[in-house]
Structure 1
Amino acid sequence: MPESLTKLTYQTFQQGKNYFGLAHKILSSQLRNLVYPTLQQKTKPIPNELLVKLQQRLNQLLETDWQDAQKGVYPESLLFDNPWQDFFSYYPLVWLDSPQIWERLKQQNYQDFSPEIDTDGYPSYYVQNFHHQSNGYLSDLSANLYDLQVEILFGGAADAMRRRILAPLKQGLKAFDSFTPKQVRILDVACGTGRTLKLIRAALPQASLFGTDLSPAYLRKANELLSQIPGELPQLLQGNAEELPYVDNYFHAVTSVFLFHELPASVRQTVIEQCFRVTKPGGVFIICDSIQLSDSPELEYMMDSFPETFHEPYYKHYTTDNLVERLQRVGFENIEIQDHFMSKYFIAHKPA
């Protein structure tokens, strides 16, 4: 297929996902306001000038995504990767779960777990209905719906944002060119359903991949996803990022995607300390998370409304937290910052 036609196909594919996400949000809001009119007062429409800026940022993200594929950072096929089977299986369940979410929002009940969900042994900050999800991160239903919900939230751009870690990851691993590809070990902290590990596997097909997460349900989903793709199966472990179950200086690279805004401030520091500990000298640590006020002040309106709209109790502090200072405090250096659409990236190096 000619390059121009492939790019047009990619743009059309992404535009379709964006329109679908927008249509879902509009319809969902209308139904919610009909059933729970009191919630309508809590949500305000996004100003038109802000919508224009968001579209510009999305266009820039998609262009970068396309260019990275053309440079060979990852296979072009990733641009069109979409879990269609999950979509058709689980999208109806998104709607069926919506009334419970709206009721939770109305009651401001943020620690609502079914009796069969065992919450013992988890940190108190984790036992939350993040995004108002039924049973938080501790049920198979939540794990099955998560990727679809995040795609809708970001208008089909979630994977494009995740892929922005791949170029700096491959660049950071050049410090270990003397190692064979299979000797290179990469850890994804809070790997969730395994989407990031799947992308890393496509970009680095022979690397040894590891993932850790607190949720057994999400790890089951990750194992289901990752066992379907070629290559060595990543090693998944249930564990708390505050105490990573690995020896010192073990990984050539460590990644973490969409974790830090869901951690209390003190825990963010502990997790960074742990990531530094398990990273080899000369290795790279990459954080992908939400934008912050320091780099995206024009989107302050959205950052202010996000914590209540989606129940993110630690997000507001995150938007003003100095993660560069936290990274430097434990010893990381040469810290680069990037912004893509609604996400921010910290690329930090452990001294050799």
Structure 2
Amino acid sequence: MTDTLTKLAYQTFQQGKSYFGVAHKALSTQLEQLAVGKRDNEIFPLSPDVVERIYNSLNQIIETDWNDAETGIYPVETLFDNSWGDFFQYYPLVWLDLPKIWDRVRNKQYQSFDSQIDLNDYPKYYRQNFHHQTNGYLSDLSANLYDVQVDILFNGAADAMRRRILAPLKQGLSHFAEVPPSQIRVLDVATGTGRTLRFLRSMLPKAALFGTDLSPAYLRKANQLLSQLPGELPQLCQANAEDLPYGNEQFHGVSCVFTFHELPGPARQNVIDQCYRVLKPGGTFVICDSIQKDDDPHLNPLLHNFQTTFHEPYHRSYSEDDMTARLERSGFVEIATQLHFMSKYWVAHKPA
């Protein structure tokens, strides 16, 4: 009975986030049309069948999320890990930031940064207003708003999508059964605000966790959020994922979430090569990112609309990229893929 009530509470919790996301997007879209003008000629209308497929897949990922918790992949409490304090503090700022976003959209400003932000230490492809965000990923405001914005984008399912890396990673770590839990080392590449590291900590309470990101602002946010957790604080490091600051064969598992669609092709390969280099033989690498073209042809109009609406200069290239071939080029074997809601996953292994 308790499990049934907990599951119902989780489903209600997720449905509430989903309805909120839909309501926010509907209202902001109407206001954007007033501020920027309609772009109907660039947007494909979604048929009722496609909308139904989207909501069916949303319900499926919520069910999968619950099942993984119920079977012990991670604690059930993880399902309710939501930073309500951040939400209520920063959601009003999402609205206050929208006029700036609409202004950049109207004026086609895609590389606009405040003068005090030094761009010299960042690769050219990173100097973008991804999602039309103010100052891209290089300000504390961006870091504070990111999780709220992404959860709205995915109708409240962003964390459920992130958590889909946990089961294959835990299965991969079982190959190191002789290693004490406190000596297991897991790296999250491009960790952002540390949401994935939070979920890794809930699954691996004794493991040594590491995270890298290129943005010092996002690392400050990650340190703030992760310091709230019990146990050892994950070790965070500012680094370009194309040049990870670790020796060869240091980690039993590596994850990378929502990153590859924001990289040009050569950088994608470099990051995969680096993840292979730092992974121990027999280790597991799990990627979570956007679905790709023709994973579900019915959803291609949705991908088109995403690429049209948001500033994602490398998403079209990513959506047609053969990521499995890239993983094989680096040396990975036993590569499997999964689809959950709007995300795609690659689970790859370094030969033992």
1:172 maps to a residue whose letter is G
1:3 maps to a residue whose letter is D
Partner of 2:54: 54
Deviates more, 1:112-121 or 1:275-284: 112-121
Partner of 2:299: 299
Partner of 1:194: 194
For 1:43 and 1:117, how far apart are their aligned partners in 2?
34
**Deviation per residue, 1:85-115 (Å, 9 max, x gap):** 0011000000000001111111111000011
**Deviation per residue, 1:107-163 (Å, 9 max, x gap):** 111000011111111000000000000000000000000000000000000000000
How far is 1:190 from its partner? 0.1
User: Do structure 1's residue 19 and structure 2's residue 28 form an aligned pair?
Assistant: no
How far is 1:306 from its partner? 1.3
**Deviation per residue, 1:254-300 (Å, 9 max, x gap):** 00000000000011001100000000000000000010124222211
Partner of 1:281: 281
How far is 1:35 from its partner? 2.3
CA contact (8 A) 2:75 2:203 kept: yes
Partner of 1:129: 129
State the SS of the aligned residue for 2:124. coil
**Deviation per residue, 1:181-227 (Å, 9 max, x gap):** 11000000000000000000001100000000000000000000000
Partner of 1:327: 327
Pairs aligned (count): 352
User: Do structure 1's residue 98 and structure 2's residue 98 form an aligned pair?
Assistant: yes
How far is 1:4 from its partner? 1.4
How far is 1:45 from its partner? 3.9
Q: 1:185-334 counterparts in 2 under 5 A?
A: 185-334=185-334
Partner of 1:339: 339
2:322 maps to a residue whose letter is N
* Amino-acid identity (%): 62
Partner of 1:348: 348
For 2:201 and 2:236, how far apart are their aligned partners in 1?
14
CA contact (8 A) 1:182 1:206 kept: yes
Q: Could you tell me which runs of 5 or more consecutive residues in structure 2 were left unpaired when the two chains were aligned.
A: none
Q: 1:164-203 counterparts in 2 under 5 A?
A: 164-203=164-203
CA contact (8 A) 2:255 2:287 kept: yes
Partner of 1:87: 87
For 2:107 and 2:340, how far apart are their aligned partners in 1?
35
State the SS of the aligned residue for 2:209. strand
1:108 maps to a residue whose letter is K
How far is 1:38 from its partner? 4.3
How far is 1:41 from its partner? 5.1
CA contact (8 A) 1:33 1:40 kept: no
Deviates more, 1:43-52 or 1:191-200: 43-52
For 1:308 and 1:151, how far apart are their aligned partners in 2?
19
User: Do structure 1's residue 114 and structure 2's residue 114 form an aligned pair?
Assistant: yes
State the SS of the aligned residue for 1:327. helix
CA contact (8 A) 2:186 2:251 kept: yes
1:14 maps to a residue whose letter is Q
For 2:209 and 2:47, how far apart are their aligned partners in 1?
43
Q: Could you tell me which runs of 5 or more consecutive residues in structure 1 were left unpaired when the two chains were aligned.
A: none
**Deviation per residue, 1:308-329 (Å, 9 max, x gap):** 2111000001111001011011
For 1:300 and 1:147, how far apart are their aligned partners in 2?
25
CA contact (8 A) 1:39 1:106 kept: no
For 1:38 and 1:11, how far apart are their aligned partners in 2?
35
For 1:209 and 1:296, how far apart are their aligned partners in 2?
34
Deviates more, 1:1-10 or 1:272-281: 1-10
Partner of 1:71: 71
For 2:38 and 2:106, how far apart are their aligned partners in 1?
8
Cα root mean square deviation, aligned: 1.1
CA contact (8 A) 2:44 2:304 kept: no
1:319 maps to a residue whose letter is S
Q: Return closer, same or farther for 1:41/1:92 CA change in 2, 3 Å cut-off.
A: farther
State the SS of the aligned residue for 1:113. coil
For 2:285 and 2:259, how far apart are their aligned partners in 1?
14
For 1:259 and 1:204, how far apart are their aligned partners in 2?
23
